């Protein structure tokens, strides 16, 4: 499954741009048509053609959780959906999100159902939310569907915050390390070298090498900066391509440092999302289709897509999950028990709670492994520069002792 960037027009003739996940261009176009859009151009997404939002912040899971919970509360109080959307649009701080809510209100007034009106803003409302709203409208339990989605987005926010927690410390330390090294190369080393310039002291090879790096950095910093920018752009292009996603997905599942964290994060997301969707009455095939779009690791996403195809043929979900080789044994066993007992929803909820706790533990373990590694690397780099600086001083003292 890949991401495709599209240009399309809706039923009112308004232009729409965005991205959609599908296994092919034809499937992407079919999905857009099913949402009431007329595709004009569909191509594989890259960093150059994905839609970029300017002038407003992206709608976060926290925004969506607040929207769903408030919407459910207002509807429970007996307020019609149109009036509820008007109230939500006025009090939503995210201007982009508020505009989308207002558009949804207008489309309902024109005769669209809430689910179809929300589907017209795929860039704001996730497919899972649209599907849950449609299921709630069909079953007459819209408030319940919105409440469940509020809980889902709250859990997603907690999960993402846990991931950010695992990445923030290494990122800060890495930035500090780079800043310290640059400071040593640009300021400290040239200052010390000026002191020894007029002295008849033979410079150690390590010192000469570091001085050469310092001089090169000062003279050609703009070339180095350009190379760094090009490398970052090339990395983004590679990471956005299907080949890059597959290679990076395989690497994170293979690397001992990240494997435990990635697998448990994916398992928690699969269990929580599948539980939310199936409890609302969506079929397992529909649920798996939506779940696949929430998986961040492409290998796990492909495993869920394959599982969906196998379930279509009548196979129990536990079997394709087992054959994929990427999901933990406990998840497969608990899924099998849920299938045999007929309590799949309850078992999925228990799995979600278990793996969400496991993600927190995996985060702590990841930080415990990263902290000493980063400290050792940083200390080694600084020690190397310090050794280069103090090498001439030791040589000078030896020369004075021999006088």
- pLDDT, residue 402, reads 54
Please check whether residue 86 lies inside any domain of the structure. yes
Please check whether residue 176 lies inside any domain of the structure. no
Domain count for the chain: 3
Domain that residue 318 falls in = 193-403
Same domain, 39 and 65: no
Same domain, 125 and 258: no
Pick from 383, 381, 391, 403: nearest CA to 196: 391
CATH number at residue 109: 1.20.81.30
Strand order in the sheet with 2-9: 15-22, 2-9, 38-44
Q: How far apart are CA 309 and CA 315, in angstroms?
A: 9
DSSP 48: T
Same domain, 201 and 279: yes
Same domain, 30 and 95: no
Please check whether residue 56 lies inside any domain of the structure. no
Conformation bin of residue 77: beta by default, left when phi > 0, alpha when psi is -120 to 50: alpha
Please check whether residue 239 lies inside any domain of the structure. yes
Same domain, 75 and 31: no
Per-residue pLDDT tens listing for the chain (403 residues): 566 778 887 776 667 777 776 667 777 787 777 767 788 788 776 544 554 443 444 678 889 999 999 999 999 989 998 999 999 998 888 888 998 899 899 889 888 889 888 888 878 888 888 888 888 888 788 888 898 888 888 888 887 787 777 778 778 877 887 887 788 777 777 777 776 666 666 677 777 787 788 888 888 888 988 999 999 999 999 988 888 889 999 999 998 888 888 898 889 888 888 888 887 778 888 888 888 888 888 999 999 999 999 999 989 999 999 999 999 998 899 889 988 888 888 888 888 888 888 887 887 777 777 778 877 887 887 787 777 777 777 766 665 555 4
Same domain, 33 and 79: no
Same domain, 247 and 338: yes
Same domain, 126 and 6: no
Same domain, 38 and 146: no
Same domain, 234 and 265: yes
Same domain, 145 and 286: no
Same domain, 115 and 203: no
Q: What share of the chain is helix, strand, coil (3-state, %, to 5)?
A: 75, 5, 20
Residue 299 in contact with residue 253, Cβ under 8 Å?
yes
């Amino acid at each position: 499954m890949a991401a495709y960037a599209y240009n399309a027009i809706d039923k009112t003739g308004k232009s729409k741009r965005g991205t959609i996940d599908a296994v092919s261009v034809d499937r992407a176009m079919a999905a857009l048509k099913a949402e009431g859009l007329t595709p004009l151009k569909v191509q594989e997404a890259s960093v150059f053609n994905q839609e970029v939002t300017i002038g407003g912040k992206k709608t976060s899971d926290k925004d969506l959780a607040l929207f769903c919970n408030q919407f459910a509360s207002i509807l429970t109080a007996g307020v019609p959906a149109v009036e509820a959307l008007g109230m939500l649009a006025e009090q939503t701080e995210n201007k982009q999100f508020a505009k989308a809510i207002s558009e949804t209100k207008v489309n309902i007034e024109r005769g669209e159902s809430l689910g179809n009106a929300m589907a017209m803003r795929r860039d704001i409302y996730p497919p899972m939310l649209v599907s849950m709203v449609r299921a709630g409208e069909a079953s007459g339990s819209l408030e319940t569907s919105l409440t469940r989605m509020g809980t889902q987005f709250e859990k997603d926010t907690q999960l993402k915050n846990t991931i950010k927690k695992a990445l923030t410390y290494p990122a800060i330390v890495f930035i500090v390390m780079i800043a310290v090294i640059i400071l040593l190369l640009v300021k400290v080393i040239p200052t010390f070298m000026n002191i020894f310039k007029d002295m008849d002291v033979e410079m150690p090879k390590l010192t000469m090498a570091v001085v050469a790096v310092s001089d090169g950095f000062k003279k050609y910093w703009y070339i180095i900066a350009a190379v760094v920018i090009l490398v970052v752009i090339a990395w983004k292009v590679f990471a956005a391509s299907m080949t890059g996603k597959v290679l990076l997905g395989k690497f994170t599942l293979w690397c001992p440092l990240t494997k435990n964290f990635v697998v448990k994060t994916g398992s928690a997301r699969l269990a929580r999302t599948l539980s939310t969707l199936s409890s609302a009455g969506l079929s397992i095939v529909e649920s798996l289709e939506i779940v696949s779009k929430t998986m961040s690791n492409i290998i796990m996403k492909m495993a869920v897509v394959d599982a969906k195809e196998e379930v279509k043929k009548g196979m129990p979900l536990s079997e394709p999950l087992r054959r994929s080789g990427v999901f933990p044994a406990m998840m497969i066993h608990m899924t099998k028990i849920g299938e045999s007992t007929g309590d799949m929803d309850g078992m999925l909820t228990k799995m979600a709670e278990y793996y969400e706790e496991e993600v927190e533990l995996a985060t702590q373990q990841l930080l415990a492994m990263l902290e000493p590694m980063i400290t050792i690397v940083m200390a080694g780099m600084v020690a190397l520069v310090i050794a280069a600086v103090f090498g001439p001083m030791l040589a000078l003292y030896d020369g004075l002792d021999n006088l």
